[in-house]
């Protein structure tokens, strides 16, 4: 390009003016021209050594695991090519956690299926039925994966979690079919006839069970908020897998049952002592159930008092149970945020980071420590968030694969060892709430917005609020957005004086900016790069208030005037950033929740000046919105299930009886979550939604067999008891296979199971409660309702 600078000499020889005698004045005669590096305002460190950190983020729709494998291969190639110049290391790979979580869920599914297979074999006393399931499960999985492909559902924690629950449903529907076929065989029917009639008897029941589960999850798919986005794949996976399960149960299972007629496994198995013992245990349980059922039929008030006491006792734990938006997942990392004294130098902040790095690296559970100190002047996002400056540092800590201590324990141990003055603020972020990171990139699980106009008043309210939150031990690592101060010079121009000299505010501001920070005015070609030409003044030329006041400003006439003659300059301390929401200023109080104490009560007890208010945001706001949405989905699903049952059984009263079993599932759930050290969160709530369909299925199955018993000319009381005994085994098998399938998830045998663990605990305890009480409550309710409809009874 013509006129392009090619060397430093070209710049030095550039004429910028002429003197009084007309002699040209080149830049080199009034300024130093040299090639240098820009002033360092940030640095990165890895395990105590300076480094360059590259953050790679995948494009939307790309596979994280595949992309990570490609990056790993590229790093190996770089290390081979530049072995004598640099070393490139993969410090953190999020795909490792994703891979471990997915495979952990797969192994939990396999282990759960194996345990369910064993319990099925012990209860049915036959190898034929479990063998059929062993054949059907892989076929059902392949069919479900085909549907996943058609509906563009990827294999992830959500879809696999839904698949695991769907496979559990396959056990449930299969158990009902097996029990019905076995029951018909006891009537000396042929195996073909038993398979056909047994499947026909329960086809309506398992269809109803499948539809109720679909109805439960349909509202979640159509929720347009974050909850719908998060759980829609799980809901779709469950619906698809249970649809396959229904098809397999009414077609493939009876067919295979007939084909395996001549297998000789059963006679050999039944002779084994463990089968004889399991048969004795089952008979003992069945006899005990029959005795208790007769007792409660005679004295129903005793059962009702037990149920009411259980519901009341369980509900007490709901108020003392910790609540959070998402269950915290220990993904083996945490972050330490450091805020040094305002205007601190990069070296000062680096010194603080080095002290913390030494403490961290002395812990054997810690693998890597990556520090980012200061920031790039061009980092616009950091400036907007108020996270820029040489007084800011962030340390990311990554643990070894199998640490001896949890992330929370390590954080507390590091917190105890760190000791700095109060003006140096340090807070920890466990990074465990992955979903919360999407909703709140700053990682704050508590976010309170104080709205108002006066900054001093906002700051005072913020300090008082933090004091109250600390006193009540509601949260840790509390800070407010106005507490970060910085020193500044406030320049107030004299408009009349500036106008008389034909100077604008913008011109004066640019002049001061160049004097203070410098400015890029052009570019020069150096080798293959374009380097900025930056105009600066000497560092010591404007390093205090007096020198700033004496800064000479050139007027359009060529004269110079001191800045102090154009403006009033004062030294001031102010907040580093002022945030706004709507039309008002806000002070944001952030922290990490660690208590179930009500934030609402603390806010309500605060006396605020007129025109000021506090709004709850962060996790509390997300939790409130999400719980309302799921509560709506729960209520809508209950209404739809009631409508389905009413249309199926042509009776509003009988459908109401079945719906009455829903409160039974709450007995024991909240105490169990408390004893397991879990919070009540979205995962636990989803477990309640799932239970809704399962509990009603048991009632529907009982009524189906009650009708069959009554059609066989049995009197009402006998039919009530006989129906209970008939459904005892299929419901027991359904519950046990589901419970055993979820035990690996509930006890977090694999990585990443923390997310599904609360849901698994809710389902396990809910099924136990429902099984223990619904088989007594349903017969009693049906007995008194049907008795009024003039069925024959005996005492």
Q: Which pLDDT band holds residue 792 (cuts at 50, 70, 90)?
A: very low
Q: What is the pLDDT of residue 439?
A: 45
Domain ranges across the chain: 1-34, 487-575
Name the region of 782 (left: φ>0; alpha: ψ -120 to 50; beta: rest): alpha
CA distance 346 to 683: 44
344 or 623: which leads in pLDDT: 344
Phi, psi of 755 (to 5 degrees): -70, -45
Residues 422-481: tens digit of each pLDDT: 788 888 887 655 454 544 444 456 778 888 888 888 888 888 888 888 888 777 778 887
Give yes or no for residue 573 having a pLDDT over 80: no
Q: What is the pLDDT of residue 387?
A: 56
**At a CB cut-off of 8 Å and minimum separation 6, what does 496 contact?**
none
Longest dimension (CA), the chain: 130
pTM of the model: 0.73
Mean pLDDT of 113-132: 75
The vertex-509 CA angle with 507 and 513, nearest 5°, equals 120
Q: What is the pLDDT of residue 438?
A: 46
Which CATH number fits the domain 487-575, given the four candidates 3.30.2090.10, 3.40.50.10740, 1.20.1090.10, 3.40.50.300? Answer: 3.30.2090.10
Q: Which residue(s) pair with 556 in the sheet?
A: none
Mind spelling out the 3-state secondary structure of 639-693? Answer: HHHHHHHHHHHCCHHHHHHHHCCHHHHHCCHHHHHHHCCCCECHHHHHHHHHHHH
Mean pLDDT rounded to a whole number for the chain: 81
Helix, strand, coil share of the chain (percent; to 5): 60, 15, 25
Find how far residue 177's CA is from the centre of its chain. Answer: 38
Q: Which pLDDT band holds residue 752 (cuts at 50, 70, 90)?
A: low
Residues 598-656: tens digit of each pLDDT: 677 788 888 888 888 888 765 566 667 777 887 888 888 888 888 888 887 788 888 88
Give yes or no for residue 264 having a pLDDT over 60: no
271 or 630: which leads in pLDDT: 630
What is residue 557's three-state secondary structure? coil
CA distance 446 to 425: 18
Residues 301-315: tens digit of each pLDDT: 998 898 899 889 988
Which of 87-101, 349-363, 365-379, 513-527 comes out lowest in average pLDDT? 87-101
Residues composing the chain: 795
Mean pLDDT of 229-244: 83
Mean pLDDT of 105-109: 69
């Amino acid at each position: 390009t013509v006129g392009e600078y090619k060397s430093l000499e070209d710049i030095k020889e550039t004429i910028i003016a002429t003197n009084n005698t007309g002699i040209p004045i080149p830049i080199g005669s009034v300024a130093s021209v040299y090639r240098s590096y820009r002033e360092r305002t940030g640095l990165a460190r890895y395990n105590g050594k300076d480094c360059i950190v590259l953050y790679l983020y995948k494009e939307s729709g790309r596979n994280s695991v595949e992309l990570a494998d490609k990056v790993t291969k590229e790093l190996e190639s770089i290390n081979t090519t530049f072995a004598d110049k640099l070393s490139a290391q993969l410090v953190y790979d999020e795909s490792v956690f994703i891979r471990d979580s997915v495979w952990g869920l797969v192994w939990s599914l396999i282990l759960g299926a194996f345990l369910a297979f064993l319990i099925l074999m012990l209860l049915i006393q036959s190898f034929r039925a479990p063998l059929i399931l062993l054949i059907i499960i892989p076929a059902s999985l392949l069919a479900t994966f085909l549907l996943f492909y058609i509906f563009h559902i990827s294999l992830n924690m959500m879809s696999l979690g839904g698949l695991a629950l769907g496979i559990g449903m396959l056990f449930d529907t299969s158990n009902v079919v097996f029990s019905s076929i076995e029951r018909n065989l006891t009537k000396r029917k042929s195996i073909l006839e038993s398979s056909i009639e047994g499947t026909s008897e329960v086809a309506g029941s398992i269809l109803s069970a499948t539809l109720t589960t679909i109805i439960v999850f349909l509202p979640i798919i159509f929720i347009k908020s974050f909850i719908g986005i998060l759980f829609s794949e799980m809901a779709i996976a469950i619906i698809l897998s249970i649809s396959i399960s229904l098809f397999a149960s009414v077609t493939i299972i009876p067919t295979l049952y007939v084909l395996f007629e001549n297998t000789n496994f059963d006679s050999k198995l039944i002779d084994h002592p463990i089968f004889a013992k399991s048969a004795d245990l089952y008979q003992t349980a069945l006899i005990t159930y029959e005795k208790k059922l007769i007792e409660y039929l005679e004295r129903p008030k005793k059962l009702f008092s037990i149920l009411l006491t259980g519901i009341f006792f369980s509900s007490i734990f709901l108020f003392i149970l910790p609540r959070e938006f998402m269950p915290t997942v220990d993904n083996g990392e945490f972050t330490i945020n450091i805020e040094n004294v305002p205007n601190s130098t990069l070296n000062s902040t680096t010194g603080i980071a080095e002290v913390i790095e030494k403490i961290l690296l002395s812990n054997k559970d810690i693998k890597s420590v990556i520090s980012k100190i200061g920031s790039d002047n061009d980092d616009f996002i950091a400036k907007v968030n108020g996270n820029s400056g040489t007084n800011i540092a962030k340390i990311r800590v990554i643990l070894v694969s199998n640490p001896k201590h949890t992330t929370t324990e390590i954080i507390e141990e590091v917190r105890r060892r760190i000791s700095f003055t109060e003006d140096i603020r340090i807070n920890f972020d466990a990074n465990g709430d992955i979903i919360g990171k999407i909703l709140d990139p700053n990682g704050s699980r508590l976010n309170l917005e104080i709205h108002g106009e006066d900054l001093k008043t906002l700051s005072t309210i913020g300090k008082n609020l933090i004091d109250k939150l600390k006193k009540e031990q509601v949260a840790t690592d509390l800070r407010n957005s106005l507490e970060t101060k910085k020193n500044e010079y406030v320049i107030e121009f004299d408009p009349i004086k500036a106008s008389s000299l034909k100077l604008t505010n913008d011109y004066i501001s640019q002049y001061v900016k160049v004097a203070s920070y410098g400015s890029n005015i052009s570019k020069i070609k150096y080798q293959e790069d374009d380097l900025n030409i930056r105009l600066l003044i000497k560092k010591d030329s404007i390093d205090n208030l007096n020198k700033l006041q004496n800064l000479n400003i050139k007027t359009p006439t060529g004269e110079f005037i001191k800045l102090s003659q154009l403006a009033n300059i004062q030294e001031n301390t102010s907040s580093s950033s002022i945030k706004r929401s709507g039309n008002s200023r806000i002070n944001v109080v952030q922290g990490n929740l660690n208590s179930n104490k009500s934030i609402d009560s603390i806010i309500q007890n605060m006396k605020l000046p007129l025109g000021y208010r506090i709004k709850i945001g962060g996790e509390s706001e997300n939790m409130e919105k999400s719980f309302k949405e799921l509560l709506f989905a729960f209520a809508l699903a209950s209404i739809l299930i009631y409508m389905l049952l009413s249309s199926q059984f042509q009776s509003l009263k009988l459908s109401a009886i079945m719906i009455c079993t829903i409160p039974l599932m709450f007995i024991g759930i909240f105490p169990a979550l408390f004893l397991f050290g879990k919070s009540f969160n979205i995962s636990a709530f989803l477990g309640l939604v799932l239970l809704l369909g399962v509990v009603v299925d048991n009632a529907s199955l009982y009524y189906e067999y009650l009708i069959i018993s009554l059609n066989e000319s049995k009197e009402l009381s006998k039919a009530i008891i006989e129906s209970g005994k008939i459904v005892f085994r299929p419901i027991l098998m359904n519950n046990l296979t589901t419970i055993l399938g979820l035990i690996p998830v509930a006890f977090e045998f694999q990585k990443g199971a923390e997310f599904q663990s609360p849901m698994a605990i809710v389902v396990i305890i809910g099924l136990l409660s429902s099984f223990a009480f619904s088989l007594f409550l349903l017969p009693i309710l049906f007995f008194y309702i049907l008795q009024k409809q003039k069925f024959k009874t005996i005492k």
